[in-house]
Amino acid sequence: MAALAAPAERQPTVTILRNGLIYSPPAVAATALVMIDDWISYVGNDAGARAVASGAPEVDLNGRLVTPAFVDAHLHVIQTGQLIAGMDLHTCGSRDEVLTMVSSYASRHRGRRILVGQGWDERNWPNPSPPTRAELDRAASGVAVYLARVDVHSAVVSTALQDELPAITTAEGYRADGLLTRHAHHLARQRMDRLFSDAERRADARTALLQAASLGVGAVHELGGPHLGPVEDLIRVREVADELGIGLVSYWGELASSEALEKARAVGAAGLAGDLCIDGSIGSHTAALFEPYRDQVATGSGRGVRYLTDDEISGHIIDCTRAGVRAGFHCIGDEAVAAAVGGFRRAVPVVGLEALRRCRHRLEHIEMAAEADFAALAEYGVTASLQPAFDAFWGGPGELYEQRLGPARAAQM
């Protein structure tokens, strides 16, 4: 009997990408690369690529930029998917345009339990007031509606949604006309998520991650927390990301305790970090400031709001450091950033500088950090998760930051 022939060894696929702009610092500007299967074997000029891979198929990039995949360091995956599937209000130039979009969307999506939108910005509207609860009721024919402001730190809601969340009527930041800020808004985001099924939440995660991948994002940092949705969302996002082959680092934004630490470990979170909010946002007048908001439309004291005390901040850092996990906070205003820096400073004599540095704790946004804050954060080994797009949207002359803070403070950002 003749011996069976050994199976032919698979030949690798070699491809040349040429006539592009290859991001390859610190090398001289490159125009081509050679791929062997999924590996890059050469970066350089077109002639060099052809020399090392003679005869390989070529892809003409026509001057396109080739970079490593991007990492989105601050994402709420399921909430982003809900927005993509919902109403994009960024282009609305008046409250009437918002209400028209709600009415049109509601008529096209009959049977939905809740309608979600994001992006309204009242600053340049003829009447700079968001839609009221009664107006949303009429536009949506009584369906539950949640419309977040562009910064997602305040929202307007309809009566049907408010009826699902009776506790918000006594929460700080509630207004009878349907505008929610502060704790009322956090509570609404947390509780309204029960109006979405498991299948819907997974579908929203898939929608957001596919959109990220289409934009060249190869990995995301998912920032969950009790005010955003259930901890099970981190499992949903991880399973969808694994299925799609997208990298994922997740965080659970809850103050440290034995229960919170166990919860984070159970869902594979890298730490108790992310959007654990010390304060809110500049656009919603809830970022915590040392000096009042310039435009005098602020809530409460006129200096924003602190959601965490100094003891809670330092205690969280100490407990996370002792557990060997990453701590972190959302902090935007100068008073909030200073509170975070103070928390790290108070943690040093308790856990030691080296233990603190090993954990690579992180801060989200830190838009109004003082010069001295940067030196301290570098000393403590803190990672800054920044969003330069905020400056592109709101940092220009006469834009949001100048309106809320004045030119001098805005320039320091």
Helix pair 334-351, 310-323: axis angle to 10 deg: 50
d(CA 382, CA 356): 9
Predicted pLDDT at 24: 84
d(CA 131, CA 167): 22
pLDDT exceeds cutoff 50 at 298: no
Q: What is the 8-class DSSP label of residue 29?
A: P
Confidence of residue 3 (pLDDT cuts 50, 70, 90): low
Candidates 251, 278, 292, 289; CA nearest to 343 is 278
Predicted pLDDT at 233: 95
Question: Tokens for 360?
Answer: 């690579």
Q: pLDDT by residue (tens digit) across 104-150? A: 999 999 988 899 999 999 998 999 999 999 999 999 999 999 999 99
Collect all residues with Cβ–Cβ distance below 8 Å to 77 and sequence separation of at least 6.
204, 205, 208, 209, 220, 222, 233, 237
The H helix count followed by the E strand count for the chain is: 16, 18
Predicted pLDDT at 167: 87
Predicted pLDDT at 295: 87
Taking residues 168-192, what's their average pLDDT?
91
pLDDT exceeds cutoff 80 at 7: no
d(CA 184, CA 71): 32
The length of the chain is 413
Predicted pLDDT at 38: 87
Residue owning tokens 């909030």: 336
Candidates 94, 85, 169; CA nearest to 133 is 169
User: Phi first, then psi: what are they for 249, rounded to 5°?
Assistant: -125, 125
pLDDT exceeds cutoff 60 at 1: no
Question: Tokens for 379?
Answer: 């000393």
d(CA 137, CA 31): 57
Concatenated DSSP letters for 139-195?
A: HTTT-EEEEEETTSS-EEE-HHHHHH-GGGGGSTTB-TTSEE-HHHHHHHHHHHGGG
pLDDT exceeds cutoff 50 at 300: no
Taking residues 362-376, what's their average pLDDT?
92
- Residue 61 Cα distances to 13, 22, 36, 65, 159, angstroms: 18, 10, 17, 8, 53
d(CA 345, CA 340): 9
Taking residues 171-194, what's their average pLDDT?
90
pLDDT exceeds cutoff 50 at 412: yes
Residue 12: how many CA atoms within 13 Å on its side-chain side? 11
Please, which residues bridge with residue 13 across strands? none
Confidence of residue 299 (pLDDT cuts 50, 70, 90): very low
Predicted pLDDT at 336: 97
Which of helix, strand or coil describes residue 47? helix
Candidates 199, 179, 234, 205; CA nearest to 82 is 205
Collect all residues with Cβ–Cβ distance below 8 Å to 255 and sequence separation of at least 6.
272, 276, 308, 312, 315, 316
Predicted pLDDT at 165: 86
Q: pLDDT by residue (tens digit) across 265-283? A: 999 999 999 899 999 999 9
Average pLDDT over the chain reads 93
Question: Tokens for 247?
Answer: 């990298």
CA angle 178, 284, 169 (to 5 degrees): 30
User: Phi first, then psi: what are they for 324, rounded to 5°?
Assistant: 75, 25
Confidence of residue 191 (pLDDT cuts 50, 70, 90): confident
